[in-house]
Structure 1
Amino acid sequence: MRIINFIVWLILFSLPMGVNAQGKEVIVKGVVVDGAVRPVEFATIIIKDKLTNTNVTGTTSGDDGAFELATVSDNFYVEVSFLGYEPVVLTNIKVVNGRVDMGTITLNESNNQVGEVVVRAEKSQTEFKLDKRVFNVGKDISSTGMSAMEVLNNVPSVNVDIEGAISLRGSEGVQILINGKPSVIASDESNALGTITAEMIERIEVITNPSAKYDAEGTSGIINIVIKKDERKGLNGSLSLNTGSPANHSVGVSLNRRTEKFNLFSQLGVGRREMPRDKKSINSDLINHSSIVTEGTEYRKETFYNVILGTDYHINDYNILTLSGNVAYEVEDQPSLIRYSQLVNGVEEARWFRDETTDATNPKWRYELQYVKNFKDDKEHQLLFSALGNFFGKDQSSVFTNTVNFGNVDGADQKTATDFQEAKYTFNLDYTNPLTEEIMIEAGGQYVLQDVNNDYEVSNWDNMQWLADDGLTNVFEYDQKVLGLYGTASYEGKKMGLKLGLRIEQTDLKTLLINTQESNDQNYYNFFPSIHTSLKLTSHFSLQAGYSKRIYRPRLWDLNPFFNIRNTYSVRAGNPDLQPEYTDSYELTSIYVLSKASLNFGVYYRYTTDAVENVSVYENNVNTSMPMNIGINHAGGIEFNGKYSPNNWLSFNGDFNYSYFNRKGEYDASSFDFNADQWSSKLVSKLKFPADVEVEITGNYRSKRKTVQWEYEDNLYASLGLRKKMMKGRVVVNLGVRDVFASRKSEYENHDSDYYLYGLTEGRRFFTFGISYGFGDGEAMEYSGRRRR
């Protein structure tokens, strides 16, 4: 405890001044029982300010009816309540040596029926908006002290596993926003969402088909966490330790401190992680009856350091300024050993090993500056400006040593050197104005600048010296600027609504190969309309329909023709001539929410032009894969998602997706027309046992699927997690097993009249163990050892 307190106060002392305008901490404790002197579990205890009658802090009673919480208020009273009982208000508070012992508090059964309006005001509920679903956080959640990750788990269609991975309708490719914008807190490189408590959250918005307000780049969905303006004072934080096998070790400290004017947050983390992958490939020349078989294990070992520091400054009731930053540093080591075999007519004629030694350092930084101007006439009347900057660098060197067992092998030792630097800056200006209770307009713009330089050199060992391979060496420059302007107008009545939007984006892309002076400049304008409508048939059942146009812009590695020579017989190259891919997305969804269940059923259709697919070219036993624009793609399907909690100790969250594809296109006089379908499903079961023990079982299945050239085998795998809470939630212990049966793999084949290709990639069964201690107000806010990219 002394070490923990020292770390907490050391970090707080390094933060900007102004956090000491607090009273002394007062500990309030007691026991809640019913008329039969039986403990009342999950009773709500709220501390309120006597002058304003606003909530200061709160908690719930344990299974023995006991509670304990801290406050810095010096003029407060206590309210104790539980559904079906008369609330108790205690105003005669006596503080003795910084402690208040409330003793035994008795709740008597209520003889009156609780009115519907009162219940809705206290309980969290889901609202249906035009282009989104809104989960309003009520007192039943906000007074418990749980973290944002746990609040998300209560939102229909959203699931957060024990390790902190967030999925929307079964897909983990979801973008997390804070107050409508990307944030350091929600970035993939951090787990800082754990520093946000339930009481800080006003609502959570779920958007599955984004309107013209959002970036036109494709996404699996958006989850927007809206933070309250009136945040409570106090300290929240956690200290966590994680370990696992294969190596997955980390230590983290998360802190959040709020005062009248400031919300200060910080996070420190350090860890070590290994990611081994077993790989096998077969390249067969069916004309000459020769094959190359590769098999071995690729490793990626990382040591990482992460620091987050930021503050929200409430200038006054209508102006908020946020400044935050994230600095990370990674050290990589990639030792790998791959066995190669050359066969002719099924007889092995040569065998050799390719040993890789790779070292790399990756510096990263990220900053955010945000200004919010609220207007007095309406809480949704707002002007927001944000600037987000990112930098990623990689200084990597690799040596590949070939050891021949037997046979005639023409392969020299090689080495590579990479100097990679990427800077990305995003500027946003958004204005929202509710003209009336039913009519709202939005307008704004976004400017994104991305500048990349990749210096890549390959050298071959020849005549006792390293000689640069000019055919594989070059400097690639990538410069992209995207300017977007949008406007939306919406009408939302009690039963029906309509939202129209238009986004205009101009893309200016320049690429240059320095050594050869080959350039590729693209400058184009696009219009991205969106239409959303909703029909609320009842308070529990709603229909939503939407259309939006999306774009996929080629990424850096899609365009860079130079590749990694890790496996010289299976390489991936970029295509400098690749064009963007466009998709018209239509969606119709029905949403049904009951007291114990929420059901979502939808149908969708997507029409894609200039569809991007990886195309393999086979020559001299070498498979070279390159992205190409291959015709058009029609895709339709159905989605089903359900969340069901029959009681307070059991819940199920299931997803099912079926899709059908019709692809038409050709490349190099070859037809790529084909029809295919696929389906996937996911089921998550959560069980709560006595003594605050939770078990989570997850099963995933993905059917066989087909692309223009490849066929992928189906895959079934499962994960298991266990969580134990102690010390009234201040200590959380996690135990997890990823891929319990070691069955998660990617197996694929490419059949052609002239060649046959086979690939297999398998991960490992992972065991993880973590323990987190929460201090200040609220429960332990987990700092996950899982590093997300």
Structure 2
Amino acid sequence: MRQPLLFITIILFNLNYVSAQNQDIEIKGKVVESTNNLAIEYATISILNSDSQEPITGTISSEDGSFSIRTEASNFYIEVSFIGFKTRRFKDFKIMNNTVDLKTVILNEDNEALDEVVIRAEKSQLEFKLDKRVFNVGADLSSTGASAYEVLNNVPSVNVNIEGEISLRGSQGVQILINGKPSILASADGNALGTITADMIEKIEVITNPSAKYDAEGSTGIINIIIKKSEKRGLNGSATLNVGVPNSNSFGLSLNKRTEKFNLFSQMGFGIRTYPSESEYINKDLVNNITITSTGEGEFDEKFGNLLIGTDYHLNDNNIITLSAAIAYEVEDQNALAYFNQSDASNTITDRWTRTEVTEATNPKLRYELQYKKDFKRHKEQSLLFSALGSSFSKDQSSSFQNMTTFGDIEDFQQRTRTDYSLEDYTFKLDYVHPFLDKYTLETGSQYVLNGVTNDFAVSEFENGEWVNNPNLTNIFDLDQNVLALYSTVAFEGEKWGVKLGLRAENTDLKTLLENTNEINKKNYTDFFPSGHTSYKVSDNFSLQAGYSRRIRRPRLRELNPFSNIRNNYSISTGNPNLQPEYTDSFEITSIHKFGKASLNWSLYNRYTVDVIERITYFEDNISVSRPENVGSNTTTGIELNGKYSPLNWFSINGDFNLNYFNRDGDFEMTSFDFKGNRWSTRITSKFKLPAEFDLEVSGDYRSKYLTVQGEVDDIYFADLGLRKKVFKGKIILNMSVRDVFASRVSENTTIQPEFFVYNSRQRGRFVSFGVSYGFGKGEAMEFSGRRR
């Protein structure tokens, strides 16, 4: 299973790039429509090879219809096109002083139906910018009616599997923005991106090393979907029904209605989901030679319903307001049974018992959004954006645990827990972009994020016929964290070379309180996050980029919350309200190649992190307690490769490979944690277009074993499979997916210390699901997976 996955390295290292060193020629002009001689914005200008008719490069016209594009090719022709107009080709033109001036290009309306028009040259194009890659969506995608997921699948280094999971350079957890900001449409509470169709998308920006403009938290990367401000009228939507084993049964309905002034979007869904799991646990006291083992299985059942509704209102051509809200409600039931054995030094079992768990919970969720965007007539890139995003989440949970001894002298006992949890988040953003002197851009703005959490947690034990509160495990935990940020960036971007510098300042005000014991922890700190990016465009298909940014990782709620998880009362995890944030200096050099039907991205990176957050395991009375601590620093140096290759119309392959070496340096409580190691991962996804409009997707993942501060994490390998069938020109989609085909995805980690040994493993198993989506109005069916994110 692991050996075949290594061939990604061979594929990526043997793709060759050929760059033609020809004369640099500028093609310019202005596009207007024939009826009223009005400028056409977003018209596609394509440069194609005269022999192969393959696209070389392309661009789109600006707000006043003008365009300018450069190429090093010598044997080419030009096509100018726009949806609803007849395409014009230019094969006989004069080159004067390395310039082709088409002057005014007049396009005539095409009265034939769009589905009868064949527009060969309107290909989607990739541009290389200073700190990002920009994928301009052409008519080859926008005229298909496909959803945003289908468009994302055509972006180099981005992959979307059949179930709608988005990954960037092989890593999931990428932040999705809509028009440069967090949005309900991009949230994880469903597949709301399915309400966005390809013809609504102007371009997609891919950012792997974010500048100071973006939140300093996190480092996975950003995908920013830019929606066209001028949209055609129409209705599109879909209804989706899914069934699965184990339970993955759901129904979803998506609607999008566009008028001259409004864009209305909505989605609703409800269903039942089941997540079984198997676990194994070994706990060895190497001093007293006592071993406790357990094997168990559990089942997590969830009933859910959600509703999303929103609108974009165009006040005029330059002002737009967005209002949206999403509400969800979940009911959870969890049952688990574990079998425990305790043995002595001779490996003889001295005690045997079972532990059962019954958990019930309800989770209401609410998200709401207000956005105002103003564009300026002076320059199409000049804009002012204000957004406010709020969310709340509550959990009312109760659990009961019962230990029943089947052999030995350990007494039976019962426990129960109660959790009353609430979370509120608010994000306010103001961003202003101001281009000047043609090649310069100033960006400035601010952000204010407020987080409030209350967790009322109690543990009771059944003693002498009544329930008694355990004061050591009962408390009310409050967290308030406010982060105020100011930023500014300035950029110069020439024809070949550019540079962008930025600085972000963030003030964090954090307070945690344990009410019952009056334990207060306050922190207030201000950090500066500089960034710098530069790029050099070698040719239309080859670019070099380099970037630096400073990042922060603030402790998560579960890492701060000191309450225990007593699911296994011999393996307990707690939080640490005294945790400090991690800081990372990230350097990256990236090369982006496009040649023929392939693209290849490689990156060399170095990341230096201080105050690394690691879970440290303590051991006492046969009980292991895991608690997050700040443990020294970590230097990681690595290489990342990502390639896409489509040698045939019916076959494509996408591969990711990441190898890094790390050096840990630090000590904790008089114990040194200095060590070195490496880890690597790879993923291959192959997609096949089969006869009768079947699409097959096969993917394999491998993640290597690596060292931790106290032990090691074992390797993981698994495969996923997806099959899709389009019916009635995409109006109906039949879908099947198998996750973890060989049931090989097992998470294992081991803690090895002189006094104790701890082993944990967990497995979810194989998931099989079937779905059917029906699309009505304009466009294809848009899948709604109804799967937990």
TM-score range, shorter chain: 0.7 to 0.9
Q: How does 1:459-608 map to 2 (within 5 A)?
A: 459-608=460-609
Q: How does 1:6-85 map to 2 (within 5 A)?
A: none
CA distance in 2, matches of 1:327, 1:245: 27
Structure 2 residues not aligned, in runs of 5+ = 1-32, 44-81, 92-106
Moved more, 319-328 or 590-599: 590-599
CA distance in 2, matches of 1:554, 1:78: 52
- The CA RMSD over aligned residues, in Å, is 2.4
Offset, 1:77: 11
Query: Cα 1:487–1:78, aligned 2, differ >3 Å: closer, same or farther?
Result: closer
CA distance in 2, matches of 1:292, 1:772: 50
Contact 1:49/1:55 (CA < 8 Å) preserved in 2? Answer: no
Q: SS state of the match for residue 566, structure 2?
A: coil
Q: Letter of the aligned partner of 1:364 in structure 2?
A: K
CA distance in 2, matches of 1:337, 1:634: 42
Moved more, 300-309 or 48-57: 48-57
Q: SS state of the match for residue 575, structure 2?
A: coil
Contact 2:190/2:785 (CA < 8 Å) preserved in 1? Answer: no
* 1:335 is the counterpart of 2:335: yes
Offset, 1:765: 0.5
Q: Letter of the aligned partner of 2:244 in structure 1?
A: G
Aligned to 1:724: 725
Structure 1 residues not aligned, in runs of 5+ = 1-47, 58-75, 94-99, 108-113
Contact 1:718/1:738 (CA < 8 Å) preserved in 2? Answer: yes
Aligned to 1:711: 712
CA distance in 1, matches of 2:657, 2:114: 52
Offset, 1:427: 0.2
Aligned to 1:673: 674
Offset, 1:272: 0.7
Q: Letter of the aligned partner of 2:355 in structure 1?
A: R
Moved more, 399-408 or 302-311: 399-408
CA distance in 1, matches of 2:467, 2:132: 59
Q: How does 1:556-705 map to 2 (within 5 A)?
A: 556-705=557-706
Q: Letter of the aligned partner of 1:622 in structure 2?
A: I
Q: Letter of the aligned partner of 1:644 in structure 2?
A: Y
Q: SS state of the match for residue 140, structure 1?
A: helix
CA distance in 2, matches of 1:684, 1:742: 18
Aligned to 1:755: 756
Offset, 1:81: 7.6
Offset, 1:785: 2.6
Offset, 1:78: 6.5
Aligned to 2:220: 220
CA distance in 2, matches of 1:774, 1:357: 41
* 1:197 is the counterpart of 2:191: no
Offset, 1:89: 8.4
Offset, 1:749: 1.3
Query: Cα 1:460–1:438, aligned 2, differ >3 Å: closer, same or farther?
Result: same
Query: Cα 1:53–1:586, aligned 2, differ >3 Å: closer, same or farther?
Result: closer
Contact 1:56/1:233 (CA < 8 Å) preserved in 2? Answer: no
CA distance in 1, matches of 2:526, 2:698: 47
Contact 1:50/1:77 (CA < 8 Å) preserved in 2? Answer: no
Query: Cα 1:380–1:101, aligned 2, differ >3 Å: closer, same or farther?
Result: closer
Contact 2:402/2:415 (CA < 8 Å) preserved in 1? Answer: yes
Q: Letter of the aligned partner of 1:479 in structure 2?
A: D
Contact 2:84/2:114 (CA < 8 Å) preserved in 1? Answer: no
Offset, 1:106: 11
Q: Letter of the aligned partner of 1:328 in structure 2?
A: A
CA distance in 2, matches of 1:49, 1:622: 80
Aligned to 2:385: 384
CA distance in 2, matches of 1:203, 1:313: 21
Q: How does 1:188-267 map to 2 (within 5 A)?
A: 188-267=188-267
Q: Letter of the aligned partner of 1:757 in structure 2?
A: V
Aligned to 2:450: 449
Q: SS state of the match for residue 340, structure 2?
A: strand
Query: Cα 1:629–1:720, aligned 2, differ >3 Å: closer, same or farther?
Result: same
Residues 240-280 of structure 1 show CA distances to partners (whole Å, capped at 9, x for unaligned) of: 00111111110000000000000000111001101111000
CA distance in 1, matches of 2:731, 2:222: 31
Aligned to 1:787: 788
Q: SS state of the match for residue 558, structure 2?
A: helix
Contact 2:481/2:508 (CA < 8 Å) preserved in 1? Answer: yes
CA distance in 2, matches of 1:91, 1:606: 54
Q: Letter of the aligned partner of 1:289 in structure 2?
A: N
Contact 1:164/1:786 (CA < 8 Å) preserved in 2? Answer: no
Offset, 1:410: 4.1
Aligned to 1:139: 139
Moved more, 582-591 or 140-149: 140-149
Q: Provide the aligned length of Structure 1 versus Structure 2.
A: 703
Q: How does 1:276-287 map to 2 (within 5 A)?
A: 276-287=276-287
Offset, 1:786: 2.3
Contact 1:454/1:476 (CA < 8 Å) preserved in 2? Answer: yes
Contact 2:326/2:366 (CA < 8 Å) preserved in 1? Answer: yes
Q: SS state of the match for residue 787, structure 2?
A: coil
Contact 1:285/1:754 (CA < 8 Å) preserved in 2? Answer: yes
Aligned to 1:159: 159
Offset, 1:782: 1.6
Offset, 1:82: 12
Offset, 1:298: 2.4
CA distance in 2, matches of 1:136, 1:91: 23
CA distance in 1, matches of 2:108, 2:492: 43
Contact 2:269/2:786 (CA < 8 Å) preserved in 1? Answer: no
Q: How does 1:318-357 map to 2 (within 5 A)?
A: 318-345=318-345, 346-357=347-358
Moved more, 751-760 or 680-689: 751-760
Q: Letter of the aligned partner of 2:782 in structure 1?
A: M
Q: SS state of the match for residue 558, structure 1?
A: helix
Offset, 1:716: 1.4
* 1:127 is the counterpart of 2:127: yes
CA distance in 1, matches of 2:158, 2:567: 38
Aligned to 1:96: none
Query: Cα 1:101–1:323, aligned 2, differ >3 Å: closer, same or farther?
Result: closer
Contact 1:49/1:56 (CA < 8 Å) preserved in 2? Answer: no
Identity %: 57
Aligned to 2:739: 738
Residues 499-524 of structure 1 show CA distances to partners (whole Å, capped at 9, x for unaligned) of: 00000000000000001001110000
* TM-score (structure 2 length as normaliser): 0.86
Offset, 1:577: 1.2
Q: SS state of the match for residue 378, structure 1?
A: coil
CA distance in 2, matches of 1:91, 1:527: 55
Query: Cα 1:290–1:202, aligned 2, differ >3 Å: closer, same or farther?
Result: same
Moved more, 701-710 or 171-180: 701-710
Contact 2:280/2:294 (CA < 8 Å) preserved in 1? Answer: yes
Offset, 1:123: 1.3
* TM-score (structure 1 length as normaliser): 0.86
CA distance in 1, matches of 2:540, 2:243: 46
